[in-house]
Chain A
Amino acid sequence: MRHIHRTLVTLAVTTFALGAAPSAAAQEPTNFSTWLRGEIRRALTAAEAIPANGSGVANQKESPSTDQTSTSLVDTSSASDFLSLALNLTGLRPEDDEESTPTSGSITATFYSLAAGVKGVSLTDPGFYRRGTPLRRLAITIGSEESKVADHLTDKPATILGAKLLILNNRDVYSAHARRQLDAMDMGVDAFVAQQQQAINEIQCAIFRAVDAAANATLACTADPAFKTFLLTAPFGPQNWPKTLEALEMKPEVRAQVNRLVTTLAAGHRTAAEAVAAAVEQIQRGRQLAFAYYTKQREDDGTDEHRAELIFDYGLSTRLNWTVNASFDHGDRKTRDDTRSGRFATEFQAKMSNPGSARWAARPVVLAGGIEGTRPSGADWLIRVQAKLLIPVTAGVDLPIAYAYASRDHEGIESGSRLKFSVAVDPVRFRERFR
């Protein structure tokens, strides 16, 4: 299993090396469209109050909670859409000074990413993404974790195996719930498009009458033969718009009329933006229910562990997600009696920052607080609480740092507080960030 650690580290380092700096965007042309966008932006003044969005906080990229060194106290319902690697680097306790090498690690992949790899299809191919919706519901995990003789009856590393099935998946863009929201979003944009087309007609007509002496103000612009002649000189295009705008600025009353139209248009833009944000919020707040099974297999007389788990996620707002776990744990001890326990855990995850504008931008900073209660048969409750800060380094690379407390010792869990941190890498998102 130790070579798995090395493989995971190599994969992560290789992934870091894949990127290249994105090219700078070309300069905006000096045409009517650029000017109108700028005017609308100015009219919108302060922040448009578009709620924060980005990669969902319910997409788990860290090792599952069954891994005692994982920074996940609670499992969330979704895996990454594609593939994620997690290296749990250390479990520092205040009174000791443990090694800084990885103590566990795992790779989680959806069947979707595996199928794309087998077929040689791009993970972001639209047709494959739609057809692969059911495949994104199922994820598998493989990894390894250190063992201790006192707790696990062997010092050989455990092999972590797991599978997670999303039963209810309202956050997938191809769910019926999401498609209804996208349709609502389109209606909001359609209304703005109609308003903008009308505004462009009125603004360009006003400018024509202001700057062209041949204009006949008694006729509608579309009925005025001079309007076509005017348009054929490309007055709104990149070559001539600066001159046209200069002529417009010489007519304050026309400029004021244009400003009023732009103000109305900006209000329409704000309404459309709110409709889009509301639709995205409804998708991101969708409910998710998953069933997961994880096992830790150990060689020789080492204890094999099993966890069957139900996971529920609910978006309380665009910034706050609530997760609940209920699981049954079984310890298969070859030389002693087996152990059985029930476990209940809950966690709140709050987005603390706005993500970047692009889909492949880094996730937001996430602060999570959770509590877990485990009741082994014939023993007292084990209570664990954890506060976690997930720091995005760049798209696809996160550093989760957790401060955990356990009420007592229990099979690999030591009482007291402990600082954990790991590196979670989603190689596809990291690579796409630089494409």
Chain B
Amino acid sequence: MPVTRVHHVPNPETVPVSPGAGEFLFFRVTAGGPVPRFRFSTDIKGILLNQGTFPADPASVYEWCYLRDPSDVQEFELITVAFGFAANATYRYTVTLRDRGGKLRDVLDIEYTGGTTDFEVETFRVIV
């Protein structure tokens, strides 16, 4: 069964970020079901976190930052969030570019609806 998507802000595929200027990425996954399952990974560092990383899991909203720590910064890194729909039918995935002053712009904002055997993968590349 194909996953259906609503693209409020489509995946830009490449995202320029200036960590030196204090810029970082802010991720939010909003779950619309009882058992959210997602994984945040990069092609360089592998799996960095999943829903179980968050003490409040299961929750309706999961939020985290990336590239705020200088040790995170890698040129051309592919960033992926994978979603499982076995017991959670809908997700909304948003990424915003921020700095110390707050939000600079929306990078990505997509809603997904899937069936029990579906999974979905969303990937973009960071240019530092």
Q: Residues on A close to B: CB < 8 A?
A: 25-29, 31-33, 41, 50-51, 53-54, 124-127, 129-130, 173-174, 182, 185-186, 189-190, 192-194, 196-198, 200-201, 204, 222, 227-228, 231-232, 234, 236-238, 241, 272-273, 276-277, 279-280, 283, 355-361
CA of A286 to CA of B101, assembled, Å: 51
Whether B43 contacts A201 by the Cβ 8 Å rule is: yes
Known pairs A33-B123, A200-B123, A228-B75; A127 contacts B58 (CB<8 A): yes
Interface of A is mostly: helix
What is the chain B residue whose CB lies nearest that of A233?
B14
B89 touches A193 (CB 8 A): no
Question: A201, B11: Cβ atoms under 8 Å?
Answer: no
Q: Mark B46-68, 1 if CB is under 8 A from A, else 0.
A: 11001000001111100000000
Size of interface on B: residues with Cβ below 8 Å to A? 56
A-B contact pairs, 22 of them (CB 8 A): A26-B6, A29-B10, A29-B11, A32-B13, A33-B123, A51-B117, A124-B32, A124-B34, A125-B34, A126-B34, A126-B59, A173-B34, A173-B87, A186-B37, A186-B50, A196-B123, A197-B80, A237-B13, A238-B12, A277-B117, A357-B3, A358-B113
Q: A277 to B13: give the CA distance in the assembly, Å.
A: 29
Please tell me if the beta carbons of B84 and A127 are within 8 angstroms of each other in the complex.
Answer: no
Answer yes or no: B19 CB below 8 A from chain A CBs: no
Tell me the minimal C-beta distance from A281 to chain B in angstroms.
9
Among A27, A33, A356, A361, the one with the most B-chain Cβ atoms within 10 Å of its Cβ is: A33
Q: Count how many pairs of residues, one from A and one from B, have CB atoms less than 8 Å apart in the complex.
A: 175
Quote the shortest CB–CB distance from A394 to chain B (angstroms). 16
A13, chain B: closest CB distance, angstroms: 27
Residue among A26, A54, A125 making CB contact with B116, cutoff 8 Å: A54
A200 and B121 alpha carbons, distance in the complex (Å):
12
A25 to B114, CA, bound (A): 13
Distance of B45 from chain A, by nearest CB (Å): 11
B35: chain A residues at CB < 8 Å are: 126, 129-130, 173-174, 182
Given A29-B11, A222-B75; A198-B43 close (CB under 8 Å)? yes
Residue B7 is within 8 A (CB to CB) of chain A in the complex = yes
- Shortest Cβ gap from B91 to chain A (Å): 12
Interface pair B7/A129, CB less than 8 Å apart: no
Chain A, residue nearest B51 (CB) = A126
> Roughly how many angstroms separate A279 CA and B35 CA in the complex, as a whole number?
15
